[in-house]
Amino acid sequence: MRVTSAAICGSDLHLYGVLGAYLRRGDVLGHEFMGIVEEVGSAVGDLRSGDGVVVPFNISCGHCYYCKRGLFAQCETTQNRDQGACASSSGTPASTGRSPAVRPSSSAFLTRTSARSNCRPTVKDERFSYLSDILPTAWQGVCYADVPPGGTLAVIGLGPVGQLAVRCARRQGVERVLGVDLVDERLAVAARHGDEVVDLREVDALHSAIEAVQRGGTVSISGVYGGATDPMSMMTLFDKGVTLRMGQCHVRRWTDELLSLVAAEDDVLACEDLATHRLPLADAAEAYAMFRDKRDGCKVVRQPGLG
């Protein structure tokens, strides 16, 4: 497959920052990419050369105990047992037992989007590229929040996933959606697609969620986490009867459902109102710095022409 575009994810920024020490020469960053099938092996039955494909960041076999249950992030075939960790992901350092430069070789890893021989990325390609991670992550996060009829969902953090979570919540019929962040530009974008925004400066998202959630409510945690967090108030969690749901996104579990929304003529999830910068690969270093610093309210930095 020839990669035609890729996006920088918030989790790439961990490797750009504090986890950079784990990187080794030859590691290739990035796990949100799409491209064109160049050649297919004899075991690949449903793809042809020239197909446009987007690649879920989870590397999964598609047929183990967990994959059969839609839990692709826990795939038994690619689990990192020596690390006590879940399924492998693209673009994570070899030194952590994960997979650096991913070489998709099985159709189980690919989601066909459209048959195209044109390898130039288009705005519509950009929509499909979000199926690799951030859109299914947002969708799962909203599903896991299990908002009851008449309930309210507060999305804390309005980066790319948070922005899409606001829109997914509307799509899933959540009656009241609050967007919470501390970056003016991000609040402005969320205000275009949600009901209300809340400007919350200097806040610890997880603790705020536990404090804010209604008694008997659910806190849904998306993204990627490592290490430990500050002591959590078990008294509050228990007293309020809070349900906690979390975990890496099972990308492939949601992509069939989301594909039709992404492909819809009227762009129901407003995917075209997300990317703020489109840059060539040569500017990747600057793109990482820009995304880290949230300059210009930067939400997503993409790199068309990569490859």
The binding site for Zn ion (CB under 5 A) comprises: 9, 32, 60-61, 64, 67, 75, 77, 133
Contact 156, 127 (CB under 8 A): no
Please report how close the Cβ of residue 133 comes to Zn ion at its closest, in angstroms: 4
> Judged by CB, which is closer to Zn ion: 32, or 126?
32
Please report how close the Cβ of residue 183 comes to Zn ion at its closest, in angstroms: 19
What is d(CA 164, CA 267) in angstroms, rounded to the nearest whole number? 12
> Judged by CB, which is closer to Zn ion: 32, or 51?
32
Please report how close the Cβ of residue 236 comes to Zn ion at its closest, in angstroms: 31
Strand 2-7 relative to strand 32-36, pairing: antiparallel
> Judged by CB, which is closer to Zn ion: 67, or 169?
67
Kindly state the tokens that stand for 171. 């799509």
Single-letter code of the amino acid located at 136: P
> Judged by CB, which is closer to Zn ion: 85, or 200?
85
Please report how close the Cβ of residue 253 comes to Zn ion at its closest, in angstroms: 12
Instruction: Report angle CA 260, 263, 196 to the nearest 5 degrees.
Output: 85
> Judged by CB, which is closer to Zn ion: 35, or 217?
35
Residues 6+ apart with CB under 8 A from 150: 175
Please report how close the Cβ of residue 12 comes to Zn ion at its closest, in angstroms: 7
Among 106, 102, 101, CA closest to 42: 106
Closest residue to Zn ion in the complex (CB): 9
* Beta strands across the sheet bearing 111-115: 111-115, 51-55, 32-36, 2-7, 301-302, 277-278
